């Protein structure tokens, strides 16, 4: 007997598509898929639940603050939770047989888990806890991830990872905010899931998200305005004259998530301190660019020599290289570019 899918029935259980069942349904579109990819996404889901718990109980468990003065490869002070989140992701991904190489903002070198001929089909690169300096003041932070195919013909782990963002097979982020939100794209649109604490599962709440074409809001750290290239200062003057609002949290996952849902533009221009931009190409800019482009937005470099170039077309020369970023609603990105070019 086919159960009726009545409005009354739907009212009691509107969101019962879990991340797991969504991934399995997506896998059906690829008859040759063997479930390897699904296993990786389920590992990320498990890690996200564990990190979410650690973030929400950090002050109780006394794991806030820095890691005893330790710094990461970028010379940035490591937070205790940076290391904890990194360890959780390494553990969850490490026991997935299809993962060849893992790389993290927190580790100078990639970790080779297995070679292509040992079944390692994919590489995963991530920022385990983006914006972690905000943790002590209870501001949202996030995990950003990018999944690439492993090319067994490329000998070195770092070289295997140095693929342009257009080669990503999946990308996304988990936002540890007022709720725990998992946003994912595998190249067929952007899907959003929220962790239901009562179920212990991520349940789907958004299908094929589309970013608003425009939005009168920009997100940039205006403290560095003096050292932005002239075009960015001209854009900001234009925005001020056209009643744009400014929203900047200082946690990329939070700022980009707001723009994905509400529209607007996120900017990290070149500065004197970071002439090539501050954000990391492989595990901040590229995954966010894939999400924004998949949702109908634009994600460009904003550099002096190639302002309108797509972020995902940059050919990396190092897994920790930085870039400037302009991404968001297509109309708003075009407005910024009209002042840069």
Residue 131, interface with ligand P6P (CB under 6 A)?
A: yes
Q: How far is the CB of 11 from ligand P6P (least distance, A)?
A: 39
Does the protein bind ligand P6P through residue 250 (CB under 6 A)?
yes
Environment class of residue 169 by beta-carbon count within 10 Å: exposed (0-12), middle (13-18) or buried (19+)? middle
257 binds ligand P6P (CB under 6 A): no
Question: Distances in Å between the alpha carbon of 171 and those of 60, 130, 143, 152?
Answer: 32, 15, 11, 21
Which of residues 120 and 277 has its CB atom nearest to ligand P6P in the complex?
Answer: 277
263 Cβ partners below 8 Å, 6+ apart? 211, 212, 213, 214, 215, 217, 328, 329, 332
Nearer CB in complex with ligand P6P: 90/279: 279
Distance of CA 156 to the CA centre of its chain: 25
Using the rule CB under 6 A, give the single segment among 47-55, 129-137, 162-170, 201-209 that binds ligand P6P: 129-137
Binding mask 59-98 for ligand P6P (x = CB under 6 A): ----------------------------------------
Q: How far is the CB of 290 from ligand P6P (least distance, A)?
A: 17
Give 26 or 82: the residue with its C-beta nearer to ligand P6P: 82
Q: Which residues contact 74 (CB under 8 A, 6 or more apart)?
A: 105, 320
**Is residue 316 part of the contact set for ligand P6P (CB under 6 A)?**
no
Q: What are phi and psi of 12, to 5 degrees?
A: -85, -20
Place of tokens 């990819």: 37
227 scored as a contact of ligand P6P (CB under 6 A): no
Sheet holding 245-246, edge to edge: 245-246, 217-219, 265-268, 325-328, 298-300
Residue 274-293 contact track with ligand P6P, rule CB under 6 A, x = bound:
----xx--------------
Find the shortest distance in angstroms from Cβ 256 to ligand P6P: 8
- Strand, coil or helix: 255: helix
Member of 78, 251, 303, 324 binding ligand P6P (CB under 6 A): 251
Q: Interface residues with ligand P6P (CB under 6 A)?
A: 130-131, 133, 221, 250-252, 278-279
């Amino acid at each position: 007997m086919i159960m009726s899918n009545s409005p009354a029935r739907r009212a009691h259980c509107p969101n019962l598509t879990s991340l797991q069942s969504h991934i399995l349904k997506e896998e059906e579109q690829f008859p040759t898929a063997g479930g390897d990819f699904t296993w990786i996404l389920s590992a990320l889901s498990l890690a996200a639940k564990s990190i979410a718990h650690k973030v929400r109980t950090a002050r109780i468990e006394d794991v806030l603050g820095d890691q005893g003065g330790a710094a990461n490869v970028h010379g940035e002070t490591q937070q205790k939770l940076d290391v904890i989140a990194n360890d959780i992701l390494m553990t969850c991904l490490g026991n997935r047989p299809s993962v060849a190489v893992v790389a993290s903002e927190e580790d100078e070198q990639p970790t080779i888990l297995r070679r292509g001929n040992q079944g390692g089909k994919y590489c995963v690169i991530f920022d385990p806890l983006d914006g972690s300096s905000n943790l002590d003041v209870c501001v949202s932070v996030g995990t950003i991830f990018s999944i690439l195919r492993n090319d067994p013909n490329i000998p070195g782990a770092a070289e295997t990872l140095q693929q342009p963002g257009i080669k990503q097979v999946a990308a996304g982020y988990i936002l540890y905010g007022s709720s725990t939100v998992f946003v994912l794209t595998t190249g067929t649109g952007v899907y959003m899931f929220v962790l239901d604490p009562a179920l212990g599962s991520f349940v789907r709440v958004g299908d094929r998200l589309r970013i608003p074409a425009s939005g009168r809001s920009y997100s940039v750290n205006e403290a560095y305005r003096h050292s932005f290239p002239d075009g960015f200062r001209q854009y900001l003057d234009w925005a001020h004259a056209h009643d744009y609002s400014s929203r900047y949290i200082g946690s990329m996952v939070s700022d980009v998530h707001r723009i994905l849902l509400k529209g607007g533009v996120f900017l990290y221009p070149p500065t004197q301190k970071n002439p090539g931009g501050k954000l990391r190409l492989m595990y901040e800019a590229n995954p966010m660019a894939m999400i924004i482009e998949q949702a109908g937005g634009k994600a460009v470099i904003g550099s002096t020599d190639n302002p309108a170039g797509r972020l995902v077309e940059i050919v990396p020369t190092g897994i920790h290289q930085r870039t400037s970023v302009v991404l968001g609603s297509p109309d708003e990105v075009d407005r910024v570019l009209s002042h840069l070019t």
